[in-house]
Amino acid sequence: MSLRVDFPQTIQRVLAGGQVHETAGFFGLPGERLFGVTHLPAGAIHGGLVICSSIGPEQLTSYRNEVVLARRLAAAGVAVQRFHYRGSGHSDGEDVDLTLGTMVEDAAAAAARLAEVTAVHHPSFLGTRWGALVATRAASLAAGAPLVVWEPVADPARAFRELFRTQASHELKIGTPGRRTSEMMLAELEANGQVDILGYALQRGFYQSAIRAALADGLSGRQRLLVVRLGRTVGAEAGLADFTAAAEAAGCAVEVISLEQAPVWHFVDHSAGWGAVLVERTTQWLLAATAAEAAGRGAS
């Protein structure tokens, strides 16, 4: 029997008292479709933003903040494109095929989607945690566009070690028999191609693609860059300092803000609205950066 699909693969919604128009659904080629949401202002569009989420449990932790940020910005005149990487969320694909490279491709596809809908060809980019590695690379496609990173993974090797340690604690908590050390998990990843980290399969493909990635690799220079630190992650300072130094050396105007409120990235966070200040500060920064960007383009 043949498939009958009677419904469109996107849906339009009007929210926030008519200030925000959203198109949610799937785009891309069959078998490789991305789930995404385009948040549009009801009136004139003053700029655009592509949000690159993190992956694994961090994607869920930050999900609502990214939705709220997108709606706030859209209500203020900035069109926003959000999406799920292939192999994650509602999108097509399997996690075994997800690499840093495919994530950047998907961010580029999301930017193309935004351009198609809004004619914004130089969007800003925002990346959360692992998504920061994606955003810096994708932002190079729109040279000079403002860039925001939320608690970025500046040192992937260290971030992987943290994941292994967190898993070891998790196994202790849930009483897993035959608990594993970080070294055992790494050996399992090498031998089996994947290892269970907090109920997610850390795949060898992603590990190998990201382990040596540097956050500054994709910086195009002369960008406005906002680095948001959440809480005080012990040991993360060195990687971030290297990143901001590289950004400044490349000619970026870097602003770093530290917020007290920090989520528990790898576990369910019971506290509602932990990101209220984060969203507010980011909104204000992006609106100012977008206005400056538009003024700069007008002047040139």
Partner 1 sequence: MIDARHEFPIAYTAAGEDIFGIVTSPPRPHGIGVVLLSGGDFIPSTNRNRLYVRMARRLAAAGYHVLRFDYHGVGESTGDIQGYSSDRPFVHDVSGAVAWFERAGISEVVLVGNCFGSRTALAAAERVAGLKAIVLISSPVRDFRSGERVPTRLARDGGMPAYLLRGMRLDVFRRSLLGRYRRRYISIIKTWAREKIRLARGDGKPDGGEPQAEWVSERLVQQMAGVVRRRIPTLVVYGAEEDLYDEFTRARAGRLGTTIDRAGPLVEVRTLEGTVHGFPTLAVQQTVLDLVEEWIWRAVPGKGTPSLRAGAAGRP
Interaction site with partner 1 (CB under 8 A)? 1-11, 13, 15, 24-26, 30-31, 33, 35, 37, 57, 60, 63-64, 67, 88-92, 170, 172-176, 196, 198-201, 268-273
Under a CB-based contact definition with an 8 Å cutoff, are residues 144 and 223 in contact? yes
DSSP string, 128-161: ETHHHHHHHHHHGGGTT--EEEES--S-HHHHHH
Q: Whole-number minimum distance, CB 88 to partner 1, in Å?
A: 7
Q: Whole-number minimum distance, CB 128 to partner 1, in Å?
A: 15
Strands 47-52 and 124-128: parallel
Residue closer to partner 1 (CB basis): 13 or 121: 13
Determine phi and psi for 135, rounding to 5 degrees. -65, -40
Residue closer to partner 1 (CB basis): 234 or 268: 268
Query: Of how many residues is the chain composed?
Result: 300
Residue closer to partner 1 (CB basis): 188 or 255: 188
Q: Whole-number minimum distance, CB 31 to partner 1, in Å?
A: 6
Residue closer to partner 1 (CB basis): 27 or 160: 27
Residue closer to partner 1 (CB basis): 60 or 287: 60
298 Cβ neighbours under 8 A, 6+ residues apart:
none
Q: In angstroms, what CA-CA distances link 183 with 155, 157, 208?
A: 19, 13, 16
Q: Whole-number minimum distance, CB 9 to partner 1, in Å?
A: 5
Q: Whole-number minimum distance, CB 49 to partner 1, in Å?
A: 17
